[in-house]
Amino acid sequence: MQIVLIAVFGLVTIAGFVYLGFEVRLLLGYLLMRGRMPAGTNPPEKGSFQAGVPTVLVQVPLFNEGAVALEVVAAVCALEYPADRLQIQVLDDSTDDTPSILAPLIANMRAKGIDVRHLRRKQRHGWKAGALAWGLTMSDAEFVTIFDADFLPPSDFLRRGVVESRAFEDPDVAFLQGRWTYANERQNLLTRAQAILIDRHFAVQKPYQSANGRTLTFNGSAGIFRRSAIDAAGGWSGDTLCEDLDLSYRCALVGLKGAYDIDLPCSSEIPPSVLAFKLQQRRWAKGTAQCLRKLGGEIFRSRKIRHKPEDVYAMAGYVVHPIMLAYSLLWPWIALRDFPDSIFFASQFCMTIASVTGNVTLISGLLLAAVVSGRRINAGLLKGLGFALIVGMALMVNTAIAFLVGCFQNAAVFERTPKQGGAAGARRSGRQGLRLHWSIFFEAAFLIYMSWMTWLLVDAGHAGLAVSCLLFVGSVGFLIAAQIADRFQPSIRSTIARLMPFLARERESAVSTMPRN
């Protein structure tokens, strides 16, 4: 049994070091090559639109997005582009009152001469991918731009991305991805932490990939696709929960590539609650695993993809969570079992090196992203950074389970991330429709397990080693409490609101019956 434990622990440790190696290479590669990275597009002199600008189709996929639907449709209708070269499709699969909310706005925009169509399917086959593919059958536009419901593109997005950008001068460029920015970053500590985490992807990872000829991926929104590239890659497919990652790599497999412009921003909404963020991460983790299962073998066999290990690493980014989970479950037993001193000290040395290297790499990457994004290094940033580390540690169980399920399960149900929006969102909660997911029971079991390990390590005289277990207890305990608060807070508020008239009447009655002097 001890040999099996050591062997499994050794394999998990090696996997962790391999993952860390890719992370360190990304960070050092960015630092070494930052001086010759493209600052963004190199636009020609600005002026009036040139003759013969390409036709563009803007697609806005919606599903029960009443909180944000008006804002995103109004934003895409305000895009600066020749009216005769622009088509807009609102692909509305909603089953609630979103269509009736949108109808007056779309009618008004059509009366102004804007070519916007409100399209509804009878059945939601293929989820978002199915809606996008269905919309393409009704348009022959040369380029396709996609904005999810929680994105608000600036009016010059198409002008800068299609007309002024030189990205599509290369016929092998399949798409141009813009950079996400965050409208509600300052809403709470969770949104500030997420902004730092996402900036690492858009401010460090993508520029590094772009400068070094690595495969760039489409992020599902705020991007412009060449229509012929979508067709060449086989079109949108709904057999994974990450249709954007799937199509990106199918483009790469046929010799096409992506481009990225850090200076092409688009405002988005960050999930403001723990339940919404957890749902989003669960979908992304499951979807990337499905893409890895679907395309991993083709990537390794392909002669058109040059950096195969890095592409598999990029596609399997969430694999770090199963590695971390296995590591945290196994390593306390190395200290508790009666192993020879050589094995014990070797395991502790590896654990220390992995922990220090991992944390230094992660913190350095997040700080670098913050600096590149123009953030000031102050107490607020450090607080958000610390919270990002806590949230990342706490979500380990949720994303590990989702990734492992995705390795064996097909697309399953596409669960949308609830939105809160701006003015419309004031009438509709961003927590609407959220439920506790069954993974919370595994998180509770992990919390109990790590509490037990803390007790055993302290009792065995390894109080210093118990600190790591205690960190997991605190972070996962916080996550569970936050989920319960998110789930029941709207109900508590609703109950109080219903009771308020009754309480007011009781108070008035009590006042009226008080004896008077």
Active site residues: 93, 244
- Measured distance CA(378)–CA(394) in Å, rounded: 24
- Measured distance CA(510)–CA(504) in Å, rounded: 10
Task: Sheet containing 143-146: give its strands across.
Answer: 116-119, 86-92, 56-62, 143-146, 223-226, 173-182, 257-268, 151-152
- Measured distance CA(320)–CA(396) in Å, rounded: 9
Q: Which two tokens stand for residue 306?
A: 């040059």
Q: Which two tokens stand for residue 263?
A: 């200076």
Counting Cα atoms < 13 Å in the Cβ hemisphere of 39 gives: 3
Amino acid at residue number 263: D
Q: DSSP state, 155? A: T
Q: Which two tokens stand for residue 142?
A: 């040369």
Residues 233 and 254 sit within 8 Å (Cβ to Cβ): yes
Beta pairing partners, 144: 57, 225
Amino acid at residue number 280: Q
Q: DSSP state, 201? A: I
Amino acid at residue number 346: A
- Measured distance CA(228)–CA(141) in Å, rounded: 10
**What DSSP letter does each residue of 227-291 carry, written as one string?**
HHHHHHTT----SSS-HHHHHHHHHHHTT-EEEEEEEEEEEE----SHHHHHHHHHHHHHHHHHH
Other Cβ atoms less than 10 A from the Cβ of 387: the count is 18
Q: Which two tokens stand for residue 16?
A: 């962790």
Q: How far is CA 69 from CA 148, 191, 459, in A?
A: 10, 21, 57
Collapsed DSSP state (helix, strand, coil) of residue 489: helix
Q: What sign for the dihedral angle of Cα 130, 437, 323, 382?
A: positive
- Measured distance CA(442)–CA(322) in Å, rounded: 13
The region that residue 421 occupies, defined by phi over 0 for left and psi between -120 and 50 for alpha, beta otherwise, is: left
Q: What sign for the dihedral angle of Cα 482, 69, 285, 320?
A: negative
Amino acid at residue number 56: V
Other Cβ atoms less than 10 A from the Cβ of 408: the count is 9
Question: What angle, 0 to 180 degrees and rounded to 10, lies between the N-to-C axes of helices 274-301 and 243-253?
Answer: 20
Beta pairing partners, 223: 146, 177
Residues 97 and 66 sit within 8 Å (Cβ to Cβ): yes
